[in-house]
Amino acid sequence: MKIKLSVRIYRYRIIYLMMLPMLIMVTVFSYLPLSGWMMAFRDYKLGFSIFSGEFTGLRQFRIFFVDASDAMYTIRNTVCINLLSLAVNLSSACFFALVLNEMRLLRLKKMVQSFSYFPYFVSWVIGHYIFNSFLAEQSGVINIVLQQIGLTSKGISFLGDPKYSWGLMVFASLWKYLGSDTIIFLAAISGIDQEQYEAADIDGASRFQKISYITLPALMPTVVMILILNSGTIFNSNFDQFFLFTNSLNWQRMEVLDMYIYRYGLKLLNFPYATAVGIVRTIVSIIMFLIVNQIAKRVRGQSLI
């Protein structure tokens, strides 16, 4: 029997009341600001209403796709760095979770897990200071050690040389999020039926065989879900991270869409163009999510929607 909507709302009123603050927060901070998208279609002037400027249509979008000379390398940086980070973080977290799961010393396991999880609570400001202490060209610990053992005659500019930029960002992301990503896989491993491992022990299976034929197949649904969730963030980067690590030497290899929008919007005060780029990024992110979700649904029968 189909329950009326009013009856359903009354029956679950406590749950809806608990959801109300979240709905208000999402509406105020995520949906109401979408009215600012109007700036992309008008000749907006600072200090005036976003609806007062002359209507310019798709001019700003045409500039981004046709006339902007720096748009292509910005998109290249964003996609490549995010895809590399996703691949490295996902594979490393999965491997690290398998290693932790195989540890028999419980105290050592907790200590290693806590140590790996700690960077997640460190802000990127402090994180940049830590990386600078190790990687600075003149006073960095790594450069000092390399010069003392004779591997290099002068310091290497890890933070300034463009050829190290992508690797630096991928490693910094791995350093910060390895512990938090590992928790997801450890939770998935803890949900595996232990009778499968007991049956494997009776059959004389080794640790590697149990990992290969029981643990890894059981982790695949979790891997697919993480891929689907992260597919919509391929064109989104951590602004704090890139803002702190970008400098005058490596900016061409470090400028992602978030930094690009910041440069045109808040530094050059070209709000219509920055808004147009933000709209494109949002639409492409949604399309990417829908495509990956549909692929996962067809290939593995898993999807979020």
Please say whether the beta carbons of 231 and 292 come within 8 A.
Answer: yes
Average pLDDT, the chain: 90
Other Cβ atoms closer than 10 A to 59? 16
Average pLDDT over residues 274-297: 92
User: Does some domain include residue 169?
Assistant: yes
Helix (H, G, I), strand (E, B) or coil at 55: strand
Does any domain span residue 30?
Answer: no
Q: Which domain holds residue 118?
A: 5-25+42-300
Q: Residue 304 and residue 231: Cα distance in Å, rounded?
A: 12
Q: pLDDT tens-digit profile of 125-166?
A: 999 999 999 999 888 999 999 999 988 888 899 999 999 999
254 neighbors 246 (Cβ within 8 angstroms): yes
Q: Is the residue at 175 inside a domain?
A: yes
Say whether pLDDT at 67 is over 60. Answer: yes
The tokens describing 208, both together, are: 């590697």
Position 31 in a domain: no
pLDDT of residue 2: 63
Residue 65 scores a pLDDT above 90: no
How far is it, in rounded angstroms, from Cα 71 to Cα 65?
A: 7
Contact 136, 198 (CB under 8 A): no
Average the pLDDT over 286-299 and give the result: 91
- Tell whether 288 is covered by a domain: yes
What is the domain-level CATH number for residue 51? 1.10.3720.10
Tally of domains in the chain:
1
CB-CB neighbours of 255 under 10 Å:
20
Of residues 110, 251, 66, the one with CA closest to residue 169 = 251
Mean pLDDT of 178-203: 90
Which pLDDT value is given to residue 53? 81
Q: Is residue 16, in this structure, part of any structural domain at all?
A: yes
